[in-house]
Structure 1
Amino acid sequence: MTSSSTNEIETSQQATARPAFGGNDKHALVLLVAGGLAAHALLAALGLWRDFAWPAIGLSFILLVLIGERAGRLVPVRGRGAYERTLAFGFPALVLLTWQLAGDYGLLNTTWFPQPSRIAAGLWDLTVRYDRFSGTSLLGRPWLIPEVYAADGMAGVWKLLSESHLLATVGRVLGGFILGAVPGVLLGVVMGMNQTVRLMLDTTLSAIYVLPKIAIFPIVMLMFADPFGEAPKIVVVALAVFILMAINTMAGVRGIDKVYLMAGRNYGARGWSMLRHVILPGAMPVIFAGLRIALGTAMIVIISVEFVRAKQGVGYITFYYWEVLNPEKMYAGLVVVMALGVLLTYGLQWLQRRLMPWQR
């Protein structure tokens, strides 16, 4: 038998096997969906659904994972993108719907876990309401910019935006992030390339890294003439980012394949040329992984600082509404924090794609 005839036989066997495999997946998919619905219907018919609601919801989650896996096997290649987006965005939507229904049917204590609809109403109120007592608002009332600009120019616009809790937090995060990331990357490169510097600083950085940054915030406050101003808040964020980026960048530089360094030397790369064309591109994936972690750390630190020592910021309003027992607006503040984290992370990923085009 020739090799071509053997290949034809194997191809025909694969073609006949695929429908059976797909048929098994369809059959299993139908059974999983029917089994989940039947379990809920049986509990409801026996009047036991409310008593066993949370175990039933947990079982439904397991079934949902199995259904998603089976459905993924049936999705054609051209539909993979839509399938993955459905999982990525559909599951959070399903969690919110479950939360809403659990609150409506008394499965959750809505005093402390208000339904998403109430949280959305609280977020809307925070967005459109201006607090005359503190002179602040969530967004800084951007809808008034044309009117204020016509009356007072850019000074009036700046004054309008300076009342924003969101912009106050973003400014502190970005200021501390840039102030800490740039020198952290530079020091990490030096530590990765120079063993003496690495041995001198590695233990010290590791010791400082484990300190809770909120614990050293009072010390940072004493370093400035205005301990209650913006500078201590930005500096404590910068310290957290600096240490993370120094350690991460050092690991990225030391992890570069020696073959790349040898190839660079063979092509005449020395000093700045070696750093620009070999070391930084080689360490860039690890550096950006560290930047992503550092960005999350910056958000955690600034929200913690705003909890204890701020009169403006997303962390401040979140803690304030916890103190006055307004859980809807407290959760609304947490939603703003999460949305801000997602947007900043997407911005960092956009920068990564621009600086690392070879990974597209």
Structure 2
Amino acid sequence: MDKDVAVAAKSLIAHEKPKREAPNRYRSLTLASPLLILLLWECLSRLSLIDARFFPPPSSIVAEFFRLVATGEIASHVAVSLYRIVGGFLLGVVPGIVIGLCIGMYRPIRFALYPLIMALMPIPTLALMPIIILVFGINDFSKMITIAGSVFFPVVINTAAGVRNIDPVFIDVAKNYGAKTKDYFFKIALPGAMPVMIEGIQMGQAIALLTIVAAEMIGANSGIGYLIWTDYKAFVLKGMYVGLVLISFFGYFFSLLLRWLEKKLVPWQR
């Protein structure tokens, strides 16, 4: 009997081992796939199999990045864009969370605001940018308002949906214990909507990056979007690719940051 148990245990370990090693193999693929694409791009461009004017070798793009770093140009563009992104993101997220919670909690507010939000959501914020510039001028605040308008809608809709999905049992228990309005707001609605709300915030940060590039292309004299647009018009495509890579990097970084915050704020979702 003991021998049978030992054989079964070895067999179980043999079957479990590949499952444990699988994640490491998949992580290596995460790193290997972009490196292979870059290597293929480099070879095709160097061998003139693709037009190097439109697709310069990645090595030359890296060299252009370090040149821009050495001149200090890239630092100024990144600092301005991050300032606009963070400011606009907060201007959109904070009202989106508050209004979304109110829409989910109170029926009169839901009937008053939800149809208006759904009617305004399909309008591209960039289409309203001429009006925003007329009202606020060509400055950083107008870019922040443009970003805020784009971020607001996914956050408010996801937050309201998160509140609506809260189990009614929690609300009944709060009523039985005489919970006040602030208790509903901060102890039931906010934590209950947090998982869905963070998904809306995650979507909002991606939209913020898309919006800032377009906004800086239209009416700005600095920022990553301005760098991309001016280098494109001057046909300096290496600088344009540097700007695109920077936007991609910040999108990935902000996504990781929000996922880390989600683990801290919503540990029961693990």
Q: TM-score, normalised by structure 2?
A: 0.90
Q: Displacement, 1:351? A: 2.3
Q: What is the identity, as a one-letter code, of the residue corresponding to 2:26?
A: E
* 1:204 aligned partner: 116
Q: Displacement, 1:335? A: 0.5
5 Å-filtered alignment, 1:1-360, equals: 15=11, 75-77=18-20, 79-130=21-72, 137-139=73-75, 164-224=76-136, 227-360=137-270
Q: What is the identity, as a one-letter code, of the residue corresponding to 1:138?
A: I
- The separation in 2 between residues aligned to 1:260 and 1:97, in whole angstroms, is 55
What is the SS of the residue equivalent to 1:214?
A: helix
Q: Is the 8 A contact 2:100 2:158 kept in 1?
A: yes
* Deviation per residue, 1:277-307 (Å, 9 max, x gap): 2221111011100001001111111110101
Give the number of aligned pairs. Answer: 268
Q: Displacement, 1:175? A: 0.2
Higher-Rg member (1/2):
1
Which residues of structure 2 form unaligned runs of 5+?
none
What is the SS of the residue equivalent to 2:51?
A: coil
* Deviation per residue, 1:186-215 (Å, 9 max, x gap): 000111112221122222211211111111
Which residues of structure 1 form unaligned runs of 5+?
23-72, 131-136, 140-163
Q: Is the 8 A contact 2:105 2:189 kept in 1?
A: no
Higher relative contact order (CA 8 A, sep 6+): 2
Q: Is the 8 A contact 2:150 2:208 kept in 1?
A: yes
Query: Kindly, what percent of the aligned residue pairs are identical?
Result: 32
Q: TM-score, normalised by structure 1?
A: 0.69
Q: What is the identity, as a one-letter code, of the residue corresponding to 1:127?
A: V
- The separation in 2 between residues aligned to 1:267 and 1:96, in whole angstroms, is 61
Change (3 A) 1:262 1:84: farther
* Deviation per residue, 1:244-276 (Å, 9 max, x gap): 211111111111222332333344433211222
- The separation in 2 between residues aligned to 1:321 and 1:295, in whole angstroms, is 25
Q: What is the identity, as a one-letter code, of the residue corresponding to 1:75?
A: P
Superposed CA RMSD in Å reads: 2.5
Q: Displacement, 1:329? A: 1.0
More helix per residue? 2
- The separation in 2 between residues aligned to 1:15 and 1:75, in whole angstroms, is 12
